[in-house]
Every structure is written in structure tokens, then in C-alpha cells.
Amino acid sequence: MQVPEITCLQFLVLGLLMDGELRGRSIRQRLSELGHEKSGPAYYQFMARLEEAGFVAGRYEKKVIDGQVIKERVYKITGNGVRAREGFVNFAVANAGVRLQGA
């Protein structure tokens, strides 16, 4: 079985995005709740890597607060991302089975 292309944290983010588009801030908050705290730039760099790998697609959404325009990053999972996540799950399930048999 092929080793998964993604790390555990990437798996987690792709899982969050399975329900649909999410704001960058919301994903970061969820990760923080799950114990993966990252600084803003480190988090967005991490998301940029996912984008470069073709697992997620990001775009800026304009938002007006008190008459001032804010650009907000919004992400959604791509087909490649769904496949990579499934690959991770299959890998984990397959290997868990091997371990159980050996135990």
C-alpha cells in the first residue's frame, strides 16, 4: 500500500473542508481547538502549501466592516484533496488491520 501523500494535520484540515467552503480564520480556530495552534503566517503558509499541492483551492472574499474593505481568505477542497484524504484513510485502515492481526 502506498504511503499517504498528506500529513496528519493536512488530513485534519481536508476533513474540515469536506463539509464545504470555510474561512481561513474558522479553520485556524478549529485547529486550535484540536490542539494544533499555529501563528497566522505559519498557518497561511501551511494552507498555501496545500494549495500548491492542489489539495485545496483558496480565494479572497471581500467583506465590508464599518465601511472598510477587508479581504478574507476562503478555502474549499478539490478533487485531488478528496482523493488524498481517502488514500490516507485507506492507508490507516489497512495498517490498523495488520497490527490487529499481529497483536
> Smallest distance, Å, CB 98 to other proteins?
18
AA letter at 15 = G
CB of 15 to other proteins, least distance (A): 17
Closer Cβ to other proteins, 48 or 93, answer by number: 48
CA dihedral sign of residues 58, 63, 65, 68: positive
C-beta of 35: minimal distance to other proteins in Å?
11
> 57 near 76, Cβ under 8 Å?
yes
Nearer to other proteins, 30 or 73 (CB): 73
Positions in the binding site for other proteins (CB under 8 A): 3, 7-9, 24-25, 39-45, 48, 62-73
Most distant CA pair in the chain, distance: 63
Give every strand in the sheet of 68-77, ordered side by side.
22-23, 68-77, 56-65
Comparison of 41 and 79: residue with beta carbon closer to other proteins: 41
